[in-house]
Amino acid sequence: MFSKVISYSVIAVLSLGILGCGSSGGSSGTTTDTTDTTDTTNTTDTTGAYTGDPSTLRVYVAGESIEEFNHMNSLPFNTDGSLNGTGNITEEMGWMVPFAQKLNLREPALTVSWVGSGCWTNPDTSDCSTGTYTNTSIGHTSAIAGTTVDDWINIHGSELTSKSYCYDIAFAARGGNDLNGDVPDDTYRQKLRELILALDQGSNCRTHPIVYVTAHMLDAAAMGSLPTTQTAADSWLARQKTYYVDIAQSVVNELNTDGRKIRLIDMWTPFHDNTPTDAFPDVDWWTTDGSVHRPDLARIHREELEEDAHHPRRLASIYAGECVADQINLADLSGIE
């Protein structure tokens, strides 16, 4: 079980059921062939119950800009898990606060604090976040914008080899910059594997912290320009699925052995499949542009041009954070070594 430490908590405490963001969903209507032949023996089961004592979950984030950029001035969820406010503004963004709140709504015995070497940043500047729920009182992050996995390891890898931090879980939240940088699949796979193994051994208080490998949320990476045909849209989405979901899943399957606790958290598929959640029971992230049915990047992301869409605006941030929390197996958190 976790050691008990005092930590800032960002949320009200009330338990609730979940629709299961990682396990069910509606149809997007796209013609993309998303058949996945990858071995999914480690697909997350969220049915387990937490049996530990009231504890603070210490979280380390090896992420990109969608992890580093965080600015929330209001809590995303009401105490029954429904959405708190329907505005989809660009000024509030980031999935860490929604993740923390929804996890605590699922299990009131758990609160979240973050450890790392940097601060959360406001999306339009390099300054530390001034968001009410994203300032330094809730901890720090080692997420850094604009980095491939290799870049991140070069900048922050020493934090893991020197065991600089005590963390119970870690997020290997990668993919977007690598795909934008046209990093070859095999190179990305190898670097992701290297990062996961370092995270598994990088905590100074856990033999095997849980390492959650996130399938990056849907964005404009590898799109180039807005697709003008359904074939182009489908090819773009298929490329993203291979890179964000399939590679991550295969590496998780490979490394989830020898006492390691490596888990996939899929943020891509819920957007693709319009998977309902407590806060978004009738979600629809799709649009029809002429004759092309494709994701509604203008609604999902905050960039002015859809072909530049990479950073989520408020509703997509909340949805992503909820999906991450929904896919956590609470029973796993009871037995971290």
Q: Can you give the length of the chain in residues?
A: 337
According to the model, what pLDDT value does residue 336 have? Answer: 82
Taking residues 315-321, what's their average pLDDT? 98
According to the model, what pLDDT value does residue 38 have? Answer: 37
According to the model, what pLDDT value does residue 30 have? Answer: 40
Angstrom distance (rounded) from CA 284 to CA 27: 10
According to the model, what pLDDT value does residue 16 have? Answer: 36
Placement of tokens 């990305």 in the chain: 188
Q: Assign 327 a pLDDT band (cuts: 50, 70, 90).
A: very high
Query: Is residue 3 in a domain?
Result: no
Query: Is residue 18 in a domain?
Result: no
Query: Is residue 25 in a domain?
Result: no
Q: How do beta strands 210-215 and 261-266 pair?
A: parallel
* Cα dihedral 217→223→227→231 (10° resolution): -90
Taking residues 94-98, what's their average pLDDT? 97
Q: Are 309 and 261 in contact (CB under 8 A)?
A: no
Q: Assign 15 a pLDDT band (cuts: 50, 70, 90).
A: very low
Q: How many CB atoms lie within 10 A of CB 99?
A: 25
Angstrom distance (rounded) from CA 89 to CA 93: 8
Radius of gyration of the chain (CA): 18
Angstrom distance (rounded) from CA 133 to CA 74: 7
Taking residues 101-107, what's their average pLDDT? 97
Taking residues 268-272, what's their average pLDDT? 98
Strand partners, 172: 62, 213
Query: Is residue 40 in a domain?
Result: no
CA–CA distances in Å: residue 255 to residues 22, 213, 216, 243, 250? 21, 11, 19, 18, 9
Angstrom distance (rounded) from CA 287 to CA 297: 9
Answer yes or no: is pLDDT of 162 > 80: yes
Q: Are 177 and 68 in contact (CB under 8 A)?
A: no
Count of structural domains, the chain = 1
Query: Is residue 23 in a domain?
Result: no
Answer yes or no: is pLDDT of 27 > 80: no
Question: Which residues contact residue 251 at a Cβ distance below 8 angstroms, ignoring those fewer than 6 apart?
Answer: 189, 192, 193, 196, 213
Rounded to an integer, what is the distance from CA 126 to the centroid of its chain? Answer: 21
> Domain range spanning residue 326?
55-334
Answer yes or no: is pLDDT of 121 > 80: yes
Query: Is residue 39 in a domain?
Result: no
Query: Is residue 273 in a domain?
Result: yes
Helix intervals (H) in the chain: 65-68, 96-106, 149-161, 176-180, 185-201, 230-240, 247-255, 268-273, 297-300, 314-326, 330-334
CATH for 110: 3.40.50.1110
Angstrom distance (rounded) from CA 224 to CA 246: 21
* Cα dihedral 274→105→165→64 (10° resolution): 20
Query: Is residue 14 in a domain?
Result: no
